[in-house]
């Protein structure tokens, strides 16, 4: 019986540990994605200012690559989401993460 209790407690600790780990991992990926979106937004702003792209102008990720520097081509969601640059005036979005609650 005692052995069973030890096993049960052990399994409980392991599962609690993995839940915490998964949560932290998910949170870290979300944070990276948010930072990527911030970089894309910044690039979008720079492009808009330079080319006078008004509200509703369509901008592609390809166009923004020059504003993202060396690592521009590697910018991707760690959870495998796809970024939508969206027209000027609309925020950059990720197909996996939603950042509507965050202040932009
Ligand atoms: Zn994402």
Q: What is the pLDDT of residues 39-93, one digit of tens each?
A: 999 999 999 898 888 888 888 888 888 888 876 678 899 999 999 999 998 999 9
Alpha carbon distances (Å) from 88 to 9, 33, 44, 45, 78 = 54, 20, 8, 8, 25
Instruction: Summarize pLDDT for 17-29 with one digit per residue, the tens.
Output: 999 999 999 999 9
- Look at 27 and 2; give whichever has higher pLDDT: 27
What does the alpha-carbon distance between residue 39 and residue 33 come to, in Å, rounded to a whole number? 10
CA of 93 to the centre of ligand 1 (A): 8
Q: What is the pLDDT of residues 65-80, one digit of tens each?
A: 888 887 667 889 999 9
If you measure from the C-alpha of residue 35 to the centroid of ligand 1, how many angstroms do you get, rounded to a whole number?
10
Per-residue tokens: 87: 């027209």
User: Phi and psi of 71, rounded to 5°?
Assistant: -90, 10
Q: Domain residue spans in the chain?
A: 2-94
What spacing in Å lies between the alpha carbon of 6 and ligand 1's midpoint? Answer: 40
On the CB side of 18, how many CA atoms lie within 13 Å of its CA? Answer: 5
pTM of the model: 0.79
């Amino acid at each position: 019986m005692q052995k069973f209790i030890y096993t049960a407690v052990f399994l409980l600790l392991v599962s609690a540990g993995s839940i915490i780990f998964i949560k932290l991992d998910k949170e870290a990926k979300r944070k990276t994605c948010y930072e990527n979106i911030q970089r894309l937004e910044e690039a979008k702003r720079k492009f808009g200012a330079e080319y006078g792209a008004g509200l509703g102008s369509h901008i592609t990720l390809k166009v923004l690559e020059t504003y993202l520097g060396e690592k521009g081509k590697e910018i991707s969601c760690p959870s495998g989401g796809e970024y939508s640059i969206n027209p000027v005036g609309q925020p950059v979005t990720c197909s996996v993460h939603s950042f509507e609650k965050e202040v932009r």
